[in-house]
Amino acid sequence: MTPKNNLRFGVIGAGRIGKIHAENLATHIPGVELAAIADVDLKAAEDLAARLHIPKAVDNYQAILSDPTIAAVAICSSTDTHARIVSEAAQAGKHIFCEKPIALDLKTIDAALDAVDKAGVKLQIGFNRRFDPNFRKVHTMIAEGRIGTPQIVRITSRDPAPPPISYVNVSGGMFLDMTIHDFDMARYLSGSEVEEVYTAAGVMVDPNIGEAGDVDTAVITLRFANGAIGTIDNSRKAIYGYDQRVEVFGSEGMLQAHNNTPDNHVYSNADGVHSPKPLYFFLERYAVSFIAELRAFVQSIQENSSPLVTGIDGRIPVVMGMAAKKSYLENRPVKLSEITAPVLQPD
Ligand SMILES: NC(=O)c1ccc[n+]([C@@H]2O[C@H](COP(=O)([O-])OP(=O)(O)OC[C@H]3O[C@@H](n4cnc5c(N)ncnc54)[C@H](O)[C@@H]3O)[C@@H](O)[C@H]2O)c1
Give 264-285 pLDDT, tens digit per residue.
999 999 999 999 999 999 999 9
Show the low-confidence residues of the chain (pLDDT under 50): 1
pLDDT score of 3: 64
Cα of 265 vs centre of ligand 1, distance in Å, is 36
Sheet holding 334-335, edge to edge: 253-257, 243-250, 150-158, 229-235, 217-224, 194-202, 334-335
pLDDT score of 249: 98
Q: What angle do CA 220, 147, 129 make, to 5 degrees?
A: 50
Cα of 80 vs centre of ligand 1, distance in Å, is 9
- Contact between 339 and 325 under an 8 Å Cβ cutoff? The reply is no
- Cα 242 → chain centroid: 16
pLDDT score of 340: 87
Predicted TM-score (pTM) of this structure? 0.95
Task: For 20-61, write each residue's pLDDT tens digit.
Answer: 999 999 999 999 999 999 999 999 999 999 999 999 999 999
Phi and psi torsions of 340, nearest 5°: -125, 155
- Contact between 103 and 180 under an 8 Å Cβ cutoff? The reply is no
DSSP 8-state code for residue 236: S
| Top mutation candidate among 48, 64, 76, 176 for ligand 1, by most atoms within 8 Å of CB | 76
- Contact between 10 and 71 under an 8 Å Cβ cutoff? The reply is no
- Contact between 199 and 168 under an 8 Å Cβ cutoff? The reply is no
pLDDT score of 45: 98
How far apart CA 154 and CA 76 sit, in angstroms, is 29
Q: Which helix (H) or strand (E) holds 201?
A: strand 194-202
pLDDT score of 346: 54
Across all residues in the chain, what is the average pLDDT?
96
pLDDT score of 112: 98
pLDDT score of 5: 77
Cα of 172 vs centre of ligand 1, distance in Å, is 13
pLDDT score of 343: 59
Tell me if 302 CB under 6 Å of ligand 1: no
pLDDT score of 344: 55
pLDDT score of 2: 58
Amino acid at 155: I
